[in-house]
């Protein structure tokens, strides 16, 4: 696949995101010959750079450096791009604070950019329902929804994209993917680190805004949505929306690690949660009366993002008369070691029908080696192609904020020691995901 000559503009190019993620991802896309040589990558910001200084910031191949340019600010940017070539599409990556999204879109419009423009914006898409609605309305004043690409980099992870393949390309799983056979779904996102240098941002957000409202709600939609009629972005969006429409939150507990208020950038009386547990329900025929549990937090005892599909227990018959056989599980390991593990029961060889657990595993690195595509590389390539499948729509963001709004900043805060997992009043018997640490490690 080769993409015709394009101008890719990184707004806020002097920041860390451009250096760590964006330019390296674009370099790979160019080196794989997905971009014509006539394409250009233009950094834009408030810093005074010439092209040579800007190129010197990045450790990329010489041919990539040749297409790197710099333009200070937005004023005069359209004429500058036109001098570089005739481009059918101009991609703007907003490596900027969300507070300036609307004003930046207005500046681009006033500069003369119209149908050729595509705007890639990063989360957070608002602070709550009202702010998300306001941002979307202001962006739509200048650019059509089809021109807006809201990035959720979680959706570009191979392990997450594979959820749909696992569900809809394997006939042995599709018939049991409902509350008749599944007892509950658990989604876990644990980090060992605290807020570190993100204190000022995180204290205004909290873990529910930072992780649950976007990444984990999107995961839940992919796990529970009905089969789309096609893989077209609009058909997938419709099915995700149908999940969000019938989703409700039945319980939420918020925690904060001890010492959080002494971190740089944190208010001394901060009520912000660094860990949360939520119980949700999906009120449709497929998932009626089945709970979904979500937990996410920082400064915990381990790092990992996993999903567990816990099936219902066997009746107390035959091999399970004592009730000792554990229910089957499917565990999706999202990070750090991607894979899928299926827990089964089997007979111990030579025994008189003694049963033990057996793990069947599919590990990405064992099957595919080190060919996993980096998330920003995938998302930038899709934006260049105009493929919106892995991007989040305005309606999804607003509906997700509306659903999560009832638990934002509500209820009391309990406390936990750094490096531990809170268990003051656990909402469920959480799966011990440490048991799966080495499954694909």
Cβ-contact 43, 14 below 8 angstroms? yes
Active site residue 137: no
Report how far residue 340's alpha carbon sits from residue 338's, in angstroms, rounded to the nearest whole number: 7
Report how far residue 6's alpha carbon sits from residue 312's, in angstroms, rounded to the nearest whole number: 52
Residue that has been written with the tokens 């990556």 in this structure: 93
Return the ∠ at Cα 47 (arms to 45 and 48), rounded to 5°.
120
Report how far residue 360's alpha carbon sits from residue 436's, in angstroms, rounded to the nearest whole number: 11
61, 71, 153, 215: which one is catalytic? 215
Instruction: Return contacts of 404-407, CB within 8 angstroms, 24+ apart.
Output: 404/208, 404/212, 404/213, 404/217, 404/249, 405/128, 405/129, 406/249, 407/208, 407/249, 407/252, 407/278
Q: Is 242 exposed, middle or buried (0-12, 13-18, 19+ CB in 10 A)?
A: middle
Tokens of 306: 């996993």
Tokens of 149: 């690409």
Report how far residue 145's alpha carbon sits from residue 140's, in angstroms, rounded to the nearest whole number: 7
| 3-state DSSP helix/strand/coil % of the chain, to nearest 5 | 35, 25, 40
Report how far residue 122's alpha carbon sits from residue 89's, in angstroms, rounded to the nearest whole number: 20
Strands (E), 46-181: 68-72, 89-94, 117-122, 148-151
Q: What is the dihedral of CA 188, 189, 190, 194, to 10 degrees?
A: -150
Q: Helical H runs in 141-290?
A: 158-168, 199-205, 207, 217-224, 233-245
Report how far residue 43's alpha carbon sits from residue 217's, in angstroms, rounded to the nearest whole number: 33
Is residue 399 within a helix (H) or strand (E), and if so which, with residue range? Answer: helix 394-404
Q: What are the catalytic residues?
A: 215
């Amino acid at each position: 696949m080769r993409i015709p000559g394009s101008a890719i503009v990184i707004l806020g190019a002097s920041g860390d995101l451009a250096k760590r993620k964006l330019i390296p991802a674009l370099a790979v896309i160019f080196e794989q010959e997905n971009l014509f040589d006539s394409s250009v990558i233009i950094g834009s910001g408030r810093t005074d750079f010439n092209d040579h200084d800007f190129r010197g910031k990045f450790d990329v191949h010489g041919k990539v450096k040749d297409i790197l340019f710099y333009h200070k600010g937005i004023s005069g940017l359209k004429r500058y791009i036109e001098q570089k070539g005739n481009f059918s599409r101009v991609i703007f990556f907003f490596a900027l604070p969300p507070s300036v999204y609307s004003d930046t879109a207005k500046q681009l419009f006033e500069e003369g950019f119209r149908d050729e423009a595509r705007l890639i914006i990063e989360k957070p898409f608002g602070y709550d329902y009202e702010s998300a609605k306001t941002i979307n309305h202001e962006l739509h004043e200048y650019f059509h929804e089809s021109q807006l690409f809201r990035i959720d980099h979680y959706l570009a992870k191979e392990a997450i994209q594979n959820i749909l393949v696992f569900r809809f390309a394997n006939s042995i799983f599709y018939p049991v993917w409902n509350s008749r056979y599944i007892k509950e779904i658990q989604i876990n996102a644990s980090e060992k680190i605290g807020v570190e240098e993100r204190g000022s941002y995180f204290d205004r957000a909290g873990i529910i805004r930072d992780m649950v409202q976007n990444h984990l709600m999107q995961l839940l939609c992919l796990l529970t949505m009905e089969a789309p009629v096609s893989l077209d972005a609009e058909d997938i969006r419709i099915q995700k929306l149908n999940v969000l429409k019938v989703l409700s939150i039945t319980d939420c507990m918020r925690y904060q690690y001890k010492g959080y208020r002494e971190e740089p950038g944190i208010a001394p009386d901060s009520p912000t949660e660094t860990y949360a547990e939520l119980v949700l329900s999906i009120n449709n025929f497929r998932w009626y009366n089945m709970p979904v549990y979500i937990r996410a937090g920082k400064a915990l005892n381990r790092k990992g993002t996993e999903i567990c599909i816990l099936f219902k227990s066997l009746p107390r018959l035959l091999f399970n008369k004592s009730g000792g056989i554990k229910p089957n599980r499917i565990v999706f390991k999202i990070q750090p070691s991607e894979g899928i593990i299926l827990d089964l029961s089997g007979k111990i060889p030579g025994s008189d029908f003694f049963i033990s657990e057996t793990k069947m595993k599919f590990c990405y690195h064992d099957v595919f080696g080190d060919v996993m595509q980096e998330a920003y590389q995938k998302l930038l390539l899709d934006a260049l192609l105009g493929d919106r499948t892995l991007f989040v729509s305005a309606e999804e963001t607003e509906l997700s904020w509306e659903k999560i709004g009832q638990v934002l900043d509500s209820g009391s805060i309990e406390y936990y020691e750094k490096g531990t997992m809170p268990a003051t009043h656990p909402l469920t018997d959480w799966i011990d995901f440490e048991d799966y640490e080495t499954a694909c490690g």
